[in-house]
Amino acid sequence: MTSIDREPQTENHGDVVRRLYREMRRIRRFEEELYRLVSTGAIGGTTHLCIGQEAVPVGVSSLLTHEDQITSTHRGHGHLLAKGARMDRALAEIAGKKDGYCQGKGGSQHVAIPAIGHMGSNGITGGGLPIAAGLALALQRKNTDRVVIAYLGDGAADVGNFHETLNLAALWRLPVIFVLENNLYSMSTPIERTSACETFADWASRYKGIEVARGDGNDVFSVIDLARPLIERARSGEGAGFVEFLTYRQSGHSKSDARVYRTREEEAEWQARDPLHLIAVHGEDHGVTADDIQALDAVVETEVEEATRFALESEPGGAEIALGELGEPVASDARVAGPSETTPGATITVTEAIREVLRGEMRRDPNVFVMGEDIGTYGGAFGVTRGLLEEFGAERILETPICENSFTALGVGAATGGLRPVVELMFGDFVCYAMDALVNHAAKLRYMYAGQVRVPFTLRMPVGRRKGYGATHSQSLEAWFVHTPGLWVAFPSTVEDAVGLLRTAIRCDAPTIFLEHKLLYPARGTWPGDDHSLPWGQARIVREGADLTLITYGLCVDLCSRAAEQLAARGIDAEILDLRTLQPYDREACIASLTKTGRGVFVQEATGVAGVCDRVIADVLPDVFEWLHAPILKVTGAHVPFPSSPMLEDLMMPNVRDVVRAALQAVAD
């Protein structure tokens, strides 16, 4: 019995065939027309056609509602149309037009229509997999029977994300089904040379609890039969599924591909099993005539013609639309956090303050949860989350395996699905693994998808020196984040600021990076209460002065305060500006102080090569140049990897003496 025999009685078998044929024909003709437009130069950019693979998305989507979600790949036009996209707006998007689904900002590889459950195609091979798992986590928390389909190619199964995400999906029984379209090549390389497995289904089956299937991806009824039980299982809460479909991309990988890596004979063999041909033949047994097929083709033809006219006549997407769509950590709302355990005015450490903010925000908003390695009973490597597991349980203090990229991207997916994750990295250095999640996804989703999704996601990480932790556990990498449009970066130096900035980070709808200097964890300050929050981009004047400005942030605020005391003893009155947030940073405050004092020194622990110091100095210079009596100097960490020896570490770090020396030089000029 094929799935066609199980269709509801309202639709007879012939109608099912006609519907599925039409859906596949839409994809086929859309792509042929797109190829024509790209070849003539009417549409620019690249295209990855899925001609020959139409049965997979059409079969899978026939089992979904608009409430179910998908994530897609670079070869995603079939996924898009099968999920319910209009052809005209899809084509307008690829053409870079304002009427496109993402106003032309996403294009072929980065299009989303959340309103119908299409949560985004993805230009990073395997990049969408943990995001799909995060979306599934959000659906699971809402207690729905909805599911997420994560499409991937065979090449994506070689990416670490694939294995990390299957592990997470299996461990947490997430309602996600991985749909692998095995078209035998990863771009030009045959799978025998890329993947050391018997089958991809075999790989997936090694993850305990994942239900696995494998079969023909060109016969749409085979697709439906294989996918249906996995989807039903995930809907009933029994967990993740994986299905490998064997199929073939008839076209080249992209428009420049001459297909030199495969034979015309092989192509002919697969063309004989063309999905549209197979369904038409199948339809003959169910009363679908050649005339019916012709009539359906004519309907699709009209749709294609109208879509082309629409896309070509539509206005180009405008740069001005882009402004404001990055989101920004705006001042948090007036709502008070859930009552914390600490009374306002009490003296507490930075560690305790961060914990209290997490506690208060989790009490206030059930969507807030914390995720990271060893954050439960152990309380995190620096003890920040100690005690939270007891109050909030394992679902909201969610411990992860060691897979920074996937759990960070999973957090990004959960955020786009409506949760508010606060992800903890054990050490900031480990962010190197998570850079794809941050740079290619957290930072870009809102912009690429033209504001249709929000990413209320916070990443916390301990950074900086701590007497001998060595090269891979001591770095301050904040410049990387500042350099990435779409990320917002805070680096507090006091208890009060840690509280105010973290609260805003958690409550705002933007992806925020919250940097915690290890040596500041024990620093003491005053708990400012449950309603204290701070806007980002507002520097703090730590000390007013008339003779020179020390601009700094994080641990170096303390360094500058001690230097200012020594300078005062020499009759030099230093002003200290603590930036508090590095993106956005308080440009006005820097300009105001520098124009007042006419002299400046920027102090930071991170290396001074292409650092935050350079960004700020270059940015304010045009506005302060004529007021300056001397060049703005830099005091920074040395440009070498961190040595393990505490003595050597001291040598490479800026110290009070360095700051005083630079300040004396600035005032001497």
Ligand X SMILES: Cc1ncc(C[n+]2csc(CCOP(=O)(O)OP(=O)(O)O)c2C)c(N)n1
Assess 360 for contact with ligand X (CB under 6 A): no
Helix, strand, coil shares, percent, the chain, to 5: 45, 15, 40
Among 28, 29, 74, 460, binds ligand X (CB under 6 A): 74
Min separation Cβ 613 and ligand X, Å: 32
Assess 125 for contact with ligand X (CB under 6 A): yes
Assess 446 for contact with ligand X (CB under 6 A): no
Assess 162 for contact with ligand X (CB under 6 A): no
Assess 78 for contact with ligand X (CB under 6 A): no
The CB density around residue 645, as the number of other CB atoms within 10 Å, is 12
> Is 473 among the residues known to form the active site?
yes
Assess 75 for contact with ligand X (CB under 6 A): yes
Nearer Cβ to ligand X, position 187 or 519?
Answer: 187
**Piece in contact with ligand X (CB under 6 A), picked from 17-25, 150-158, 377-385, 642-650:** 150-158
Assess 123 for contact with ligand X (CB under 6 A): yes
**DSSP three-state, residue 181:** strand
Nearer Cβ to ligand X, position 435 or 630?
Answer: 435
What radius of gyration do the chain's Cα atoms show? 28
Q: Count of residues binding ligand X (CB under 6 A)?
A: 14
Min separation Cβ 59 and ligand X, Å: 17
CA 594/CA 622 separation, integer angstroms? 12
The CB density around residue 15, as the number of other CB atoms within 10 Å, is 14
Assess 155 for contact with ligand X (CB under 6 A): yes
- Residues in contact with ligand X, shown as a per-residue x/- string from 252 to 291 under the rule CB under 6 A: -x--------------------------------------
Give DSSP secondary structure letters for 382-440.
Answer: TSTTTTHHHHHHHHHEEE--S-HHHHHHHHHHHHHTT-EEEEE-SSGGGHHHHHIIIII
Assess 153 for contact with ligand X (CB under 6 A): yes
Assess 156 for contact with ligand X (CB under 6 A): yes
Tokens 């997999």 correspond to what residue?
129
**DSSP three-state, residue 604:** strand
| SS3 readout for 196-218 | CCCCHHHHHHCCCCCEEEEEECC
**Piece in contact with ligand X (CB under 6 A), picked from 3-11, 119-127, 129-137, 306-314:** 119-127
Angle between the N-to-C axes of helices 350-364 and 495-507, in degrees from 0 to 180, rounded to the nearest 10: 30
Q: Where are the alpha helices (DSSP H) in 76-219?
A: 77-82, 87-94, 128-141, 160-171, 200-205
Identity at 512, one-letter amino acid code: T
Tokens 């249906």 correspond to what residue?
228
Tokens of 627: 């007021």
Nearer Cβ to ligand X, position 90 or 156?
Answer: 156
Assess 185 for contact with ligand X (CB under 6 A): yes
Residue 242's H or E segment, with its range, is strand 241-246
Assess 122 for contact with ligand X (CB under 6 A): no
Assess 527 for contact with ligand X (CB under 6 A): no
Min separation Cβ 380 and ligand X, Å: 30
**DSSP three-state, residue 162:** helix
Task: Identify the active-site residue in 473, 478, 516, 517.
Answer: 473
Residue nearest to ligand X (CB): 153
Assess 179 for contact with ligand X (CB under 6 A): no
Nearer Cβ to ligand X, position 61 or 405?
Answer: 405
Assess 359 for contact with ligand X (CB under 6 A): no
Q: CA torsion sign, 355 to 358 to 362 to 363? A: positive
> Is 395 among the residues known to form the active site?
no
In 296-377, the DSSP E strands lie at 347-349, 368-372
CA 279/CA 428 separation, integer angstroms? 54
Assess 124 for contact with ligand X (CB under 6 A): yes
Min separation Cβ 185 and ligand X, Å: 6
Min separation Cβ 187 and ligand X, Å: 4
Task: Give strand pairing partners of 246.
Answer: 182, 216
Cα 611 to Cα 14, 415, 434, 482, 640: the distances in Å are 66, 30, 20, 9, 14
Tokens 């040598």 correspond to what residue?
651
Tokens 């199980």 correspond to what residue?
6
Nearer Cβ to ligand X, position 156 or 227?
Answer: 156
Min separation Cβ 122 and ligand X, Å: 9
Assess 660 for contact with ligand X (CB under 6 A): no
Min separation Cβ 155 and ligand X, Å: 3
Task: Give strand pairing partners of 268.
Answer: none
Min separation Cβ 429 and ligand X, Å: 22
Burial of 265 (0-12, 13-18, 19+ CB in 10 A): exposed
Min separation Cβ 217 and ligand X, Å: 12
**Piece in contact with ligand X (CB under 6 A), picked from 180-188, 210-218, 312-320, 567-575:** 180-188
Assess 356 for contact with ligand X (CB under 6 A): no
Nearer Cβ to ligand X, position 4 or 180?
Answer: 180
Assess 435 for contact with ligand X (CB under 6 A): no
Q: CA torsion sign, 34 to 39 to 40 to 42? A: positive
CA 109/CA 183 separation, integer angstroms? 18
Nearer Cβ to ligand X, position 3 or 186?
Answer: 186
Q: How many residues does the chain have?
A: 669
Among 154, 244, 399, 497, binds ligand X (CB under 6 A): 154
Assess 183 for contact with ligand X (CB under 6 A): yes
Task: Identify the active-site residue in 164, 244, 356, 404.
Answer: 404
Nearer Cβ to ligand X, position 79 or 580?
Answer: 79
| Catalytic residue IDs | 404, 473
The site for ligand X (CB under 6 A) is made up of: 74-75, 123-125, 153-156, 183, 185-187, 253
